[in-house]
Structure 1
Amino acid sequence: MNLSFEQLPEAVTNLTKEVSELKQLLISKEQHSAEQPEKFLTIQQAAAFLSLSVPTIYSKVSKRELPFMKQGKRLYFSLTELTEYLKNGKKKTFAEIEAEAELYLSNNKKSAAL
């Protein structure tokens, strides 16, 4: 989009307004997430959340494959950490791999030209 010199003040005003709105959204989201206390799960709840059996959860805990906390003889699991654990196991699609490869090649062509 090409702007003329005369359109520039209005464009800057609109951009400033949009940035301000984004900032307010981020602040409200941050406050909302700060208001919600972290949720902890028992081993049975964690097993249900991960769709695994309780013995499998015990096995993963003993191998330190799952993030957990221990209080006395009880195990607890952070819902946030379990969600991250699941996300870390995400496999990339062929399209994502191809896009990364193209980006890598285009960046290396620029470096090789220098």
Structure 2
Amino acid sequence: MKQLTFNELPQAVIQLYDKLESIERLLLQKSQPEEPDRWFDLSELCAYLPEKATKPTVYGWVHSGIIPVHKRGKKLYFLKSEIDLWLKEGRKKTYAETVAEANNYVKRKGVKYGH
């Protein structure tokens, strides 16, 4: 195993975070039961969600791009598997995860720190 220098440590943390995020995504996908997927309309989705969100709340989420949605004409449809994954991924990030994500963003965008 290669010895890391202090200057290489932020990049190593970013790579480790990216790998863990990929593993978490795969585990979440694998943990879903093998039942047939189904479609919800807006009323069914509101009843299915744990917090029993109201229709105006869901419309707000759709408008903000927060919730996965499919649209046919004027009707909204929600795929159960996508909603389940969205709910599972909704946990609050730790401080370390937020820092690693910010560092990764800065690295990708090529932003230089002002020194």
Larger Rg: 1
**Bin of the TM-score, shorter chain as denominator length:** 0.3 to 0.5
Where relative contact order (Cα < 8 A, 6+ residues apart) is larger, the structure is 2
Give the structure with the higher percent helix.
1
**TM-score (norm: length of structure 2):** 0.47
